[in-house]
Structure 1
Amino acid sequence: MELEPLRIQVFFPASLEIQEELLKAGFKVPHDRESGKKTPIPVVVSSRGERRVRRGRLLKARDFKSDGKFAVVPGERAYLQLEPTERGFLVIRPKPIDYHLEEMGFTSIPPRVWGTWASFSLPFSAYERLLDFLTEFRNGEGNGFYTASRGSGGRIEVYAYKGRRGKDLGIPVFGYSLGLHGLTLAEGYFREKAEENGVPEERLRYLKLGLKKRRETKAGLKVGLVWENGRPVEITLKLSTTEPRVKIQGLYGELVGKSRGELTRTDDWYIVVHASDFITALETAGGAFGGNSY
């Protein structure tokens, strides 16, 4: 099954592992106060709708318009493929076709301590199609699933999680792989930064800028719905990790945060969950406000 998401966002700056890999190679991550050189780790964004960002935050894009202060990136294409396996797993494969790279804006909480570091949004029109596609994996075991919500204004996000201990995670994730390899814009960005930082370009071929799940990584996928003014408008999927904690030596001291996985060279993006967990989480989130009759 192939769906077209509204947005894909992977926050690679949330990874201390990637930051350490770049620091060891000689890059100034994220910023060197003395020389002024900086290498912010890119956020990979693919947005179906036009996206307006501050010009200084746009690191790389194939096409955009700018008034000097803001940049407007036109709509981009991406796919989300869902592949059930014979053993009852569901492999979710995000595929950004058109995308751009952004610098992380200022946040009061450092991304390295966030739980969520990758998010995928689908139009709510895909909800019934997803349920029909996964109907054979219904097992009637909705007990043990709960919902949590947050909101502001007329927008409310409801997500499902499995078991009270999984409230920060969602449903269990058994494997994942996400990386900056194979992304033409990212490759061009790091070539430019290598020149700026005085890093030999041949060193780029040895960098590991991808992440895969370790055995000890505690990972989950939040499956939920976004409501606006009393109507569901989006299906939201958020990949989270909470443990173990990692430490690295940054440019200005030790940094501590949540592990995002094991460094690897990969251009293969995927997330693996139980198909029965996924459909139960969808239905649990869908029934949070009194049923699935929209």
Structure 2
Amino acid sequence: MKDIQIKKSEEQSSQPGQENKMTPEPISIRDNYNGSDKLKDKVVLLTGGDSGIGKSIALHFAREGAHLAIIYLSEDDDARQTMAEIENEGTRCLLLKGDIKDEEFCKKAVNETISHYGSLNCVINNAAMQFPAEHIEEITSANLHTTFETNIYPYFYIVKAAIGFLNENDTIINTTSVTAYRGSEHLIDYASTKGAIVSFTRSLSKSLAKKGIRVNAVAPGPIWTPLIPATFNGEDLENFGKDVPLGRPGQPAEVAPAYVYLASQDSSYMTGQVLHVNGGEIIGG
């Protein structure tokens, strides 16, 4: 895909950001991506599915025949647009607005998904927040708590609520990050939560292997999503993603097919693993 030209003026004032205000607009799915019913009639619960990587996952899953339940925080316009695009693929979409830091809301979201669709086959933990800080002394207690309470606690809340509805051959997919492997000097708390997600994925996969429920993760590199203009500014925003070997930030459409693979029978002999879609960074793990 072509290089993305990001301007300093694209910064947004609050997280998790709004896709409908981004220029250039992220590419959520390629026109030439042809679905083949890999996920036909599967029911998928996805956090942070209104925009960015989450929206792209939702559209790819819909094109593969899945029905979606999308959790989002507050971006109503983005959520409604994503719902319309999912339904345009010929599948169904349930919007669930709320804060995943609240365990009771997470339980409610799972129960509403079951009530609406009657089943659940795939859980995708994807939503995240980040607060850049140049030095650890600059990480406020409030931002530290928000980062952990958004990025890792809900993984436990949602899986605990959903596990009783998942069966053999069902899947759980978690979004970690390249920062979990190479670190990030200005995202110490965020990278720490992403490292926790790697350990969560590996441990949960062992716990559920006997039940035939597979647990894997995807570790994206720099991807052009609403979270980026909502958290970076100035030169950091303009130079975003240019330091990877491919020399550019990635598009959500370049990440989402990895989730399709992990949710489908194509990956039936894979659990406890992480797929690295990061523009060419060579990392361990």
Q: Compare CA radii of gyration and give the structure with the larger one.
A: 1
Normalising by the residue count of structure 2, what TM-score does the alignment of the two structures yield? Answer: 0.24
Normalized per residue, the structure richer in helix is 2
Normalising by the residue count of structure 1, what TM-score does the alignment of the two structures yield? Answer: 0.24
